[in-house]
Homo-oligomer: A and B are copies of this chain.
Amino acid sequence: MQNPDRKDRSSRTGAVTMATVGRLAGVSQVTVSRALSDPAKVSPEAMGKIREAIEITGYVPNAIAGALASRRTRLITALVPSITNIVYSSLLHGFSDIMRGEGYQIMLSEIGFNAGDEEAAIAAHLSRRPDGLLLTGIHHSVPARRMLMAAAIPVVEIWDMTETPIDCCVGFSHADTGRLAADFAISAGYRHAATLSAGDERAERRRFAFAERFATATGNTVTAIGLPIGTATLEMGRQGVARLVDEGLLQNRLESTVIHCSSDVIAHGALIEARTRGLRVPEDLAIIGFGDQDFAAHTDPSLTTIRIDRDQLGRAAAEALLSRFAGDTSAPSIRLVGFELMRRGSA
């Protein structure tokens, strides 16, 4: 007979382990492990007794120990700028949905829009040995990239586009959205423009591309109003329009000025302020948003904006990781997701 103290050290720690279950079921710890991971390899009698023992003891597998032994955590970690921003949370919703369906759990960190905070977060995430990692954006510090490469796990960068991803990339060109907005504005006949843009890097690229394209086509410079980085608020949009008006930046033209906003929330705030000041939208002031949030179709006038299928983007990111896990080398490392301009009443 064997020494129980060596077979089930948990008797000393109080934890219910596979060995505890095995002893109760009259089988070894390994058989319990197999019963849980591959029931077909265990006899029906053993299965029955093991199930019963699990029920009695209330055994919950220790995924930490399992991960250490198998070198698979079934954990995906994700870094996003903000969780309260619907743009990122809806994207994570689609991502998590797929991942959870495949047995993966998601660990999440908010890192804001400050580039310097990403590195420490990546280190913390990698220490948990995730099977895969999701990053928002394509700009990462050199040490961060080095850590990621060394970790040698699938990494998906989303919500932007690069030809040279760390591993794979699912997103779109922010500059292209800005140019699309500009082309639309030009073809709609607008000849004067301004921008209301948060200071984060992606928003800046949208703004810059819009302004450049618009200025080139019309010969008129585009007035830029800078907004704080961080959570966009209606208040920011209102103040943006207020500045435009108070500082005489709109001037008194006979033609309407189109405002390119970095988000629908900013655009909505702009809309509200314009109405409050008696400006007609789009006759006096036209407004273009970004994101096509739920409310965009219901503002008065409804908001012309750029739509990205975020849920779909999240799902595509999940599929990119999953095909990496499956060792599918034919899977593309870059997936461009489309966007479209939703023409509504505001421009």
Contacts and interface: CB of A to CB of B under 8 A. Distances in A.
Interface of A: 13, 16, 58, 60-65, 67-68, 71, 73, 75, 82-84, 86, 89-90, 92-93, 96-97, 100, 105-110, 123-129, 146-147, 150-151, 233-234, 238, 265, 268-269, 272, 275, 294-295, 298, 300
A73 B83 CA distance: 23
A106 B105 contact: no
Question: Top 8 A-B pairs ranked by shortest CB distance?
Answer: A63-B127, A107-B107, A84-B89, A234-B298, A58-B150, A60-B126, A63-B128, A83-B89
A238 B295 CA distance: 12
A298 to B, nearest CB: 5
A92 to B, nearest CB: 6
B73 A64 contact: yes
A129 B62 contact: yes
Contact of A67 (B16, B64, B147, B233): B64
A105 B83 contact: no
11 contacts: A58-B147, A58-B150, A60-B150, A60-B151, A64-B67, A75-B107, A75-B128, A83-B92, A84-B86, A106-B109, A269-B298
Contact of A295 (B96, B110, B268): B268
Nearest to A310: B84
A233 B127 contact: no
